[in-house]
Amino acid sequence: MANNQPPTTNATRKDKRIERDENRGQWKSKSEFILSLLGYAIGIGNVWRFPYLCYRSGGAAFLIPYLLMVILAGIPLFYMEILIGQFSSTGCTGMFRMTPLLKGTGIAQVVVNAYCVCYYSVIISYPIRMIFYCFFKKVPWEDCSNSWNTDDCVTASDMGKQNSSDVFKTSADEFFHLEVLRISTDISDLGGMVWEQLTALIITWIIIYFCLMRGIKSVGKVVYFTVPFPYLLLFILLIRGATLPGAWKGIKFYLYPEWHRLLDLKVWADAAVQMFFGIGPGWGGIVNMASFSSFRNNAKCDSVLIVSINVFTSLLAGFVSSPCWVFSLKNRAYPWNRWPLEELDWPSSRIRRPLPCCLSRSSGRSCFSLCSFCWASTVCLYNWRPSCHRYWMSGIG
């Protein structure tokens, strides 16, 4: 029987591809795509974790293994995921149709993102709640005169008067644990509902809803604010940090190279983990956002540009944070040097301990605290948005 169907030509395949792209939707401009990827790739891991690893892993010497990991693994992985997204025009589950054996990988990405959405939303609600306290006449973590403070509470200005054997807690630490979290004394005590925190959590979900309610149409508009705005706040905090007493010594501790640390395999492992933690390949977000890009988009230039800005932001963040907490840990002349380095290995602890204490000692404390928490909430929200977007798009991708 004769085949009456017309032969498939390159033009026919091109028309099908264009029709598929139009049905799925595309970014209205190249800038929306670039800003969206920048917002995904730059987050708390760049601004807090990277400076900490530099200090712990040999200062400027840490840049050698980190840059090698970025060049040898970070850029190629970023480039590959953009290409897969552009070629397949589908999400992290649909892209594995080309290799059905690995279909479970896409499903696993959706499950992991669903899990991260649940716990990360709570972390985001912390700085959002802190923003409201910045409008008070006196920030509540400034002193120990509040109802939740204990006898062990000390302010940042009084920590230098304490003996090394004394047991004490900073006013910022007690504010976070006893007022924000209201942690119970025993695991059997569930405690009551923290309505303020629940309100902040609801506000977090409402913001994400409005960012995603029209898909990439609304996301493409939101990125024009959520990406440049944190950089503005970062430069404001950079100027404030540079004017702190002893700031240059803190920067020296941040950049001073300890070359012998390059012989430590843990330093190289930390560099590899930071590359994945900072750039974010393997989560499905890059593929998902690239699937809305043009089929013939120059993915190579985009990958190099975004990863380069990511590295620059990490380096810049060290100059912001080192005057506040790197120098405070290293120099015994400063009263807030009592925190063990291991206790600062958590982004939330860095937000609630050294930075609030440092800003509460400076003039314009409410203004700079507001900038700090606005920056944290904006970056966290935009880092969290791709996870929600991936989870939502997985059903139709």
36-68 tens-digit pLDDT: 888 888 877 787 788 888 878 888 899 999 999
pTM for this model (two decimals): 0.78
Nearest to 262 by CA among 70, 71, 64: 64
Query: C-alpha distances in angstroms, 53 versus 42, 230, 273, 275?
Result: 16, 22, 11, 12
Per-residue pLDDT for 301 more than 80? yes
Tokens standing for residue 210: 């409005």
Amino acid symbol at 44: I
85-118 tens-digit pLDDT: 888 888 777 777 778 888 888 888 888 888 888 8
214-238 tens-digit pLDDT: 777 888 888 888 888 888 888 888 8
Amino acid symbol at 86: Q
Confidence class of residue 270 from pLDDT cuts 50, 70 and 90? very high
Is-contact 353 141, C-beta < 8 A? no
Q: How far, in Å, CA of 62 to CA of 144, rounded?
A: 39
Confidence class of residue 294 from pLDDT cuts 50, 70 and 90? confident
Share of the chain above pLDDT 90, in %: 17
Start-to-end CA span in the chain (Å): 38
Strand partners, 5: none
The confidence score (pLDDT) of residue 68 equals 96
The confidence score (pLDDT) of residue 45 equals 77
250, exposed or middle or buried, with CB in 10 Å at 0-12, 13-18, 19+? buried
Nearest to 311 by CA among 116, 83, 69: 69
**Who's near 193: CB < 8 A, 6+ residues apart?**
none
156-199 tens-digit pLDDT: 666 555 554 455 677 777 888 888 888 887 777 777 888 999 99
Per-residue pLDDT for 6 more than 80? no
Long-range contacts from 65-70, C-beta under 8 angstroms, 24+ separation: 65/262, 65/267, 65/268, 65/271, 65/272, 66/271, 66/274, 66/275, 67/311, 68/271, 69/271, 69/272, 69/274, 69/275, 70/275, 70/279, 70/307, 70/311
The confidence score (pLDDT) of residue 24 equals 66
**Who's near 38: CB < 8 A, 6+ residues apart?**
223, 227, 306, 309, 310
Alpha helices in 263-364 (DSSP H): 265-279, 285-290, 299-321, 327-330, 347-352, 354-360
Residue 310 marked as a ligand binder: yes
What's the mean pLDDT in 356-380? 70
Amino acid symbol at 275: M
**Who's near 155: CB < 8 A, 6+ residues apart?**
142, 143, 144, 170, 171
The confidence score (pLDDT) of residue 156 equals 62
Is-contact 354 320, C-beta < 8 A? no
Phi, psi of 338 (to 5 degrees): -90, -10
Residue 41 marked as a ligand binder: yes
The confidence score (pLDDT) of residue 75 equals 95
Tokens standing for residue 278: 């900072």
Tokens standing for residue 357: 């204490």
The confidence score (pLDDT) of residue 343 equals 44
Residue 113 marked as a ligand binder: no
Confidence class of residue 352 from pLDDT cuts 50, 70 and 90? very low
Unique residue bearing structure tokens 């840049």: 63
Is-contact 96 298, C-beta < 8 A? no
Strand partners, 154: 170
Is-contact 393 376, C-beta < 8 A? no
Residue 74 marked as a ligand binder: no
**Who's near 375: CB < 8 A, 6+ residues apart?**
230, 233, 234, 237
